[in-house]
Structure 1
Amino acid sequence: VWECPPSLLPLPGVCRLLSSVMSGTESHTDREEDYRFLHSMLMEKKLHLLFKIHERLKRFEKRSPIPVQEHAASLASDLAEELIYQGWRDEAKELVSLFSKPHFKSLLSVHDAVAQRDFEPTLPPVPDDVLEEDEDSVKIVSLVKTKEPLGATIKRDKATGAIVVARIMRGGAADKSGLIHEGDELKEVNGVSLENRKPKEILPLLACSQGDITFKIIPASPKEEMSSNKKKLFVRVLFDYDPNEDPSVPCKDAAVSFKRGDILRIVSTEDDTWWQACHYGNSNSRAGLIPSQQLHERWRVALQRPRALFRPRQVKRPGFSISFPAGLRRSFRLGRKSSWVREAARSRRWSAGVHGSFRPPTYIEVIPYHRDPKERHRLVVLAGPSGVGVNELKRRLLISDPDRYGVTVPYTTREKRRQENEGVDYHFVSVHMFEEAILNHRFIDYGRYKGHYYGTSLDSVHRVMAEGKVCLLDAHPSKIKHVYTSEFKPYVVFVKPPRIEELRLTRRRAKFICDEEDTNPVRIFSEEDFEDMIDSAETMEKEYGHLFDKVIVNGDIAVAFRELKADLESIEEAEVQWIPAEWICSSPTTARRSCGHLTGWI
C-alpha cells in the first residue's frame, strides 16, 4: 500500500486520491515499468511543494485579507528619503538599496494595483452627442497602443464616403481584441471626427496617439465565418516579393516579403487580389498581405511583351556534355537540338506567353512530411540546360560521399565495347527488350542516337534507392513528371547559368566533349553557346519552375557545389520537409471569395 509522505498530511483528500491511484495500479503486473515511473513521479519533492503552495493559497483565500496600505510604492519612496536624511548607516544603506531595485519597485507597483483593484481597464464614457436611440448602433472601443500596428486596413466607401474597416489582419491586435470587425464604420478616432477625411489623413492621427486609442464605431452587420478559413493551408512560393518595390500594394507596412522557396501559411483567401499569410515558423503570428495567385498572373500577362521571331539557322552540331579543366566522365545525353528546333521552341514559347495558353502556378500547396529513418531517401533530380554543369555537380557529389550518393546506370541497345562493363557503364539490352520497356512506360527519358537507343529506366532508380543511397538523377525538366510522385518524393534542383558576362569569364577554359567519332571531339564554348544556354534556362524556368524546390546559379562551380551539398544535407537533417499536396491529396484548395480593394493600414 502506498504511504502518503508527511509533507502531504495536511491534505487528506489528496492523500486518499493518490493512495487509491497507486493501489489501483499495483494489480497491473504486466505494466510494472509504468507503475514504477508513476510512483517516482508522485514521490517527487517538487510535486509535494506544489501541494503545499496550493494549501497555503487556499487558507489565505479563506481569510479574505484586506490590504493595509494602498500606496506602498510611494510610502517606500518617502521612507527612502527619510533614511537618507537620518544618517548613512550600513542598515540604512542596505534598505535604501533594496528599495531602489527594479524588481522590488515592480512588486510594490503590482501590490498597489491589486490593492486599488486597478487591474481592469476603465471604459470611457459614452460621448454626450450620442442620442439615446443611437446607443445600440454605436460602440466605443478602446485599444492599448503597442509598437506593432493594430492590424487593420481601412478604405473609403465609394457610395457613402464613410471610412470603413476593409480588412482585419489575422493575429493582429484588432483581431485578438475581437472588438473591431470588417465592415465597421469609423466615426471618430480619439475624439476627432473622420467625416470627409481620406484614409491617408487618418494614419497620422493614429501615429501621434499615446497610450490608448479610442474609436467610435458603427458596427457592421454580423456575418458568418466560413469554415474554409479554419483549414491550415501551406504553400511554397515560386517567386521573390518585396512590397517596398511594389507600387500596387495597398499598404507596404501591411504586406509580407518573401523569397522563392519560402513556406507560407495562408490565413485567408477571401480577397481575390490580396491574400493574408504569415511565414511558417515565425514567432510573430500576425498575418500580412501577399499578392494572390490571380493577381500575380495578371501581372505576368501585363508585363509580357512580344518577342521578335528569329530566322532559322540551318546548322547542326553533335551531342555533347560539358567538361571543366579537371576533366570528367561523359554523361548520357540524347544529343543537342539543331538550330531550327531551338528557334521553333522560341516561337512556341512566345505564342504561349502572348495568348496565355501556358500559365504556371505561382504558389504550390504543400504539406509537412516527416521522414521515417527506415524509409528510403528522397530522389534528387538535377536539371538544367546543356553546358551549365549539371553533370559536374553530380560527379562531385558522388566523389564527396560515395556511401551516401549513387547514380543510375543508363540502358542502351548498342554493342558493348571492350573497355566497358555491364551494369557499370551501361545496361546492354536488345532492341526488343528496350522497346517493350518503352511500351510499359519504364523509361524516364530515352532517345535514339546514331541508330541506337539510350535511356534512363525507373528500374535503375529503384536499384540505387534499394541500396539505401540518395539517388542522383540528371533529367530534362520535361521528364520529371515520370518521377514526380509520392513513391519517389523527388527533390528537384534547377541549375541555371549566371549572366552572360560571368559566363564568358568562368567558361573561357571549359570545353565540350563531343562524340568520339567526330573529327573535332573537343570544342570550346562559343558566344552562340552562351546565348543558347541562357535562353534554354529561361524557357525551362518559365515552363517547369513550379517543379523546382531549389534554384542554384552556377557561376563558380566550387561555390555552386558547396551550396548544393549543404542544401541536400539540410534537407536530410530537417525534422519537417514540405512536399506537394497533390502527392497525397486529390486536389489543392482553391477557394476564394471577393472583397473590396484595400487602401490603408492602421
Structure 2
Amino acid sequence: MSSSASTPGSRADQEEHYRFLHSMLMEKKLHMLFKVYERLRRFVKRAPVPVEECASSLASHFLEDLVQHEWREEVKELLALFSKPHFKARSEGDVTFTIVPASSKQDVASRKKLFVRALFDYNPNEDPAVPCKDAAIAFKRGDILQIATMEDDAWWQACHVGVNNTRAGLIPSQQLQERRVALQRPKALFQAEQVKATVFPGEEDVDYGALTGIHIAGLRKSFRLGKKKSRVKEAACSRRWSSGVHDSVCPPTYVEVIPDHKDPKDRHRLVVLVGPSGVGVNELKRRLLISDPDLYGVTVPYTTREKRSQETEGLDYHFVSLLKFEEDILNHRFLDYGRYRGHYYGTSLDSVRRVMAEGKVCLLDLNPSKLKRIYTLEFKPYVVFVKPPRVEELRLSRRRAKFLSDGEDSNQVRMFSEEDFEDMIDCAQSMEAQHGHMFEALVVNGDVTTAFRELKADLRSLQEKEVRWIPAEWLRLSPVMARRSCGLLAGWI
C-alpha cells in the first residue's frame, strides 16, 4: 500500500481543516487587517522622524500636557507611569505601549450582571493567539467569572468573582474556544450516532455487609454502563450555552450561572456521581456512605421480581406488581429503569425525594444521559464527574487492583485489558464532551484513596458555602423561583 494513500479518517480531518481555513479567510475582519497592514507599510516607507530627537525631553513635554487633564482616571495612570525614573531617563530606541480597554470592578458591577462557570483551564502565557498576555487573566475549571463585555467575537472581557483586588482582563470567547477544541477533538467525537445502553442489576446483589460489617440499604450494582453487556462510546454532541439550547456538536466552554444564597431551611443538594464503567464510581459512593451514614443516603430501588426470604421490603427493594411498575413508567415516575431476566428494576424519583426529605445528602450513580430528569431547581444536583487518569497510571492502578465488576460476581477480581483502558478513556472523553456543561466538579480517580479524600473534602466545602452558583437555566424552567431570586442578582457584587 502506498504511504501517500489516505484513510477515510484522514480525509475527514482534511475536509474539516479546509472548512475551518476557508471560513477564516472569508471573514471580513481578516480583510480589514490586511488593509491596516498595507497602510502601516506605506507609513513606514515615508520614514517619519520624531518630533524631538531627545526621548527624555519628549516625555517631559508630554507630562506637561497631561497635567492639564489630571482629573481623568486614565490620565492619572499615565502621569504615574511617566513620573517613574526609568521613563525620565529613557535609552535610545522605540518604546511601545499596549493600550487595552480598561474595566474596573466598579465598571463591571454597574453593567448587566452575567456570570459564567468556566469548564476548562486557561493560561494566557501558554496561548500564542492572545493579543496581549498582560491584558488577559488566567482561570481554572470551575471558576466563576463575571463577563464585562462580549463585543469582540474572539476575546471577551471578564473578572473573577469572589477574589479580592481582581481586575478585568481578556478571556477566549465561547466561539473561539469551541473552534479550537473542535480541531483537536478525537475522531470518535465526529461520529453522529448516539448509542444508549443500560445494564441492570443481576440476581446476585453485592453484599457490602460482608465487606464492611455494615448493611447499607439500596447500595448495589447501579444502572450504569456495563462492560460485558456492551462497549459503549457516547457521541459527543454537547450543548451550546449561549442560546440555552445546546443543538450542535461543540465542546463545553462556559455555562451561565446565578448566585443562590443558602437558607437554613434548604435541603441538601442531590449529589450525582457519573463516570465510565470501571473508573470506580460505585466504590467512591460506598466509601462516602460508610464514612458518614447519618449524612449520606441512597435510594432503595424498585423491582417486579418476587421477594426472597432474606430480603426486607423497603430496605433491600420496593417490591411492586408488574401493573404498578408499568403504570409508574407511563406517569414518568422513574429516573431510570429497565428489564433483566424478565423483571423490571428501576430508580424512582419519589425515592430520591424521600432521602432528601430525611435531611440527608442523597447519593446517585447515574448514566449521564439520565441527568436531564433531575437537572432542575427542585433537586439542585451537584454533578461530580469521576474521570480516569492517563493510560500509564491506569495500567499501574487497575491491573492488580481488586475492583468489583459492575456486571460480574462480586467475589471475583476485575482484571482490566488494554482494550478496557482505551474504552474507559474514550467513554470519559465522550461523556465530558456531551454532558460536561452539567459537571460541577471533577475528580481524577488514579488512586481511590486519594480520590475519595478529595471528593469528601469537596462535598464538605459544598455544605459550608453560603453562596452557591447554580445554572441559570434552572430558573428559566421555574418561573416562581425566578421571581423569588430576582433580588439576588440586584444585590450581588
Q: What TM-score comes out, normalization by structure 2 length?
A: 0.68
Confirm or deny: 8 A CA contact 1:297 1:359 kept in the other structure. Answer: yes
2:361 and 2:259 mapped to 1: Cα distance?
20
How far is 1:330 from its partner? Answer: 3.6
**Structure 2, unaligned runs of 5 or more:** 1-60, 67-73, 83-95, 192-196, 213-218, 240-246, 479-493
Equivalent in the alignment of 2:223: 333
Other structure's SS at 1:567 match: helix
- Cα gap change, 1:574 to 1:446, in 2 (>3 Å): same
For residues 63-212 of structure 1, what are the structure 2 equivalents within 5 Å?
125=64, 141=75, 143-145=78-80, 167-171=100-104
2:189 and 2:174 mapped to 1: Cα distance?
29
How far is 1:333 from its partner? Answer: 3.0
Equivalent in the alignment of 2:120: 239
2:111 and 2:255 mapped to 1: Cα distance?
19
- Cα gap change, 1:322 to 1:426, in 2 (>3 Å): closer
How far is 1:306 from its partner? Answer: 3.8
Letter in 2 for 1:249: V
How far is 1:528 from its partner? Answer: 2.2
Letter in 1 for 2:442: V
Confirm or deny: 8 A CA contact 2:198 2:224 kept in the other structure. Answer: no
How far is 1:360 from its partner? Answer: 4.4
Equivalent in the alignment of 2:402: 510
- Cα gap change, 1:361 to 1:166, in 2 (>3 Å): farther
Deviations 1:114-153 (A, max 9, x none): xxxxxxxx995559xxxxxxxxxxxx95633369xxxxxx
Deviations 1:424-474 (A, max 9, x none): 111111111111111111111111112211111101001101101111111
Other structure's SS at 2:443 match: strand
Comparing 555-564 and 524-533, the one that deviates more = 524-533
Larger C-alpha radius of gyration, 1 or 2?
A: 1
Equivalent in the alignment of 1:296: 177
- Cα gap change, 1:484 to 1:146, in 2 (>3 Å): farther
Match of 1:385 among 241, 255, 276: 276
- Cα gap change, 1:577 to 1:557, in 2 (>3 Å): same
Confirm or deny: 8 A CA contact 2:238 2:249 kept in the other structure. Answer: no
1:519 and 1:564 mapped to 2: Cα distance?
24
1:519 and 1:377 mapped to 2: Cα distance?
32
Equivalent in the alignment of 1:362: 253
1:479 and 1:292 mapped to 2: Cα distance?
29
Match of 1:265 among 146, 152, 162: 146
Confirm or deny: 8 A CA contact 2:278 2:405 kept in the other structure. Answer: no
1:317 and 1:384 mapped to 2: Cα distance?
14
Letter in 2 for 1:409: V
RMSD, aligned α-carbons: 3.9
How far is 1:286 from its partner? Answer: 2.2
Identity of aligned pairs, percent? 62
How far is 1:482 from its partner? Answer: 0.5
Confirm or deny: 8 A CA contact 2:130 2:136 kept in the other structure. Answer: yes
Letter in 2 for 1:545: G
Question: Is the aligned partner of 1:485 residue 2:485?
Answer: no
How far is 1:583 from its partner? Answer: 1.0
How far is 1:399 from its partner? Answer: 1.1
Question: Is the aligned partner of 1:443 residue 2:295?
Answer: no
How far is 1:340 from its partner? Answer: 6.9
Equivalent in the alignment of 1:248: 129
2:222 and 2:180 mapped to 1: Cα distance?
39
Confirm or deny: 8 A CA contact 2:199 2:229 kept in the other structure. Answer: no
How far is 1:375 from its partner? Answer: 1.4
How far is 1:555 from its partner? Answer: 0.9
1:285 and 1:527 mapped to 2: Cα distance?
46
How far is 1:303 from its partner? Answer: 2.8
Equivalent in the alignment of 2:431: 540
1:584 and 1:514 mapped to 2: Cα distance?
36
2:448 and 2:271 mapped to 1: Cα distance?
19
Deviations 1:87-136 (A, max 9, x none): xxxxxxxxxxxxxxxxxxxxxxxxxxxxxxxxxxx995559xxxxxxxxx
Equivalent in the alignment of 2:303: 412
Letter in 2 for 1:237: A
Letter in 1 for 2:79: V
Confirm or deny: 8 A CA contact 2:252 2:433 kept in the other structure. Answer: no
- Cα gap change, 1:433 to 1:323, in 2 (>3 Å): closer
Match of 1:274 among 146, 150, 155: 155
1:242 and 1:416 mapped to 2: Cα distance?
57
Confirm or deny: 8 A CA contact 1:322 1:512 kept in the other structure. Answer: no
Equivalent in the alignment of 1:8: none
Letter in 1 for 2:121: D
How far is 1:309 from its partner? Answer: 10
Confirm or deny: 8 A CA contact 2:221 2:407 kept in the other structure. Answer: no
How far is 1:341 from its partner? Answer: 5.8
Match of 1:230 among 100, 111, 117: 111
Confirm or deny: 8 A CA contact 1:511 1:522 kept in the other structure. Answer: yes
- Cα gap change, 1:519 to 1:477, in 2 (>3 Å): closer
Equivalent in the alignment of 2:89: none
Comparing 358-367 and 506-515, the one that deviates more = 506-515
Deviations 1:360-413 (A, max 9, x none): 441111111112111111111111111111111111111111111111111111
Letter in 1 for 2:102: M
Equivalent in the alignment of 1:188: none
Deviations 1:239-278 (A, max 9, x none): 0111111110001111111110001111111111111111
2:267 and 2:287 mapped to 1: Cα distance?
22
- Cα gap change, 1:335 to 1:415, in 2 (>3 Å): farther
Letter in 2 for 1:380: V
- Cα gap change, 1:263 to 1:523, in 2 (>3 Å): closer
2:125 and 2:64 mapped to 1: Cα distance?
41
